[in-house]
Amino acid sequence: MSIESQNVTDYPNSNTIFMVWKLHENASQLKDVFQRLCALMLNLNNSAFNRFPDSRASGVMGIGYEAWKKLELPTPMPKELACFEEIRGDKHTAVSTPGDLHFHLRADNQSLIFDMSIEISKLLNPVAESILEIHGFKYWDARSILGFVDGTENPHGEDREYFAKIGEEDLQYKGGSYLFVQKYLHNMAAWKSLSTEDQEKVIGRSKENDIEMSDEVKPANSHIALANIEGENGEELKIIRDNMPFGNPSTNEFGTYFIAYASTFTTINKMLTNMFVGNPPGNYDRILDFSTAKTGTLFFVPTRNMLDDFAG
């Protein structure tokens, strides 16, 4: 049987709903609900594709470390699935927050993911609590609220598959993905107090045309300099970012939901260490002076085959 992954390599689109749920302790219906949830996720994806093939609609479910144990899912676990440990730098911290199930719902038509989220919530409400829900949207030409294009370094083609999905190194979970998420809030007043030139130095790219600065000009503490990482032998390491902006103008809350799929969590962890601790230590990512991580949770995204098995 061929391995079918969930839609982790889909490209960002116009509308997204992110949901994080925490399972109740000792819920008698938990395993039954989880079985039905796995079947529901397969059904929602198939139905959306058949009914609205041009909508680019999909729903991806991730499972956290504690939930994996509570649901008594297969052992050994995926090799790098664990509770995320906070990364504390001298000034900024990548916090660790709880989360058992994560849902990433996206479509060009907002109605589709709205209905998806209703069906998921109806099923989960008796056995779990929703602890985070964010409605993201495409901002102009794929820019963050900070005004810069986001996700330029994402891989494409075969590289997208390679960097997003687990390969031969963990055969039991081949085709699955590690999913890491953070909710960032931006200090827009402080950000807007910078000149465009100074903002560009923080990011490492031009604001208007999204052109990366040369190595000679790019500051060592710019976001691009620290978030783009290499392996021990100088090989390029990539993740699949599907970040989306969100905001509530009336409450002055503006942010970015950082979401990354990867074949190995080690890659994501190295990037976060560069950003929060610094490379070298102390040379932290300057964007963190304007963007605060409020959450940080690691999940594993099983294949569609595994969801089918879990559904029974």
Active site members? 150
d(CA 98, CA 203): 29
d(CA 88, CA 196): 29
Tokens for 180, please give them: 């890491």
Residues in contact with 141: Cβ distance below 8 Å, sequence separation at least 6, in sequence order: 149
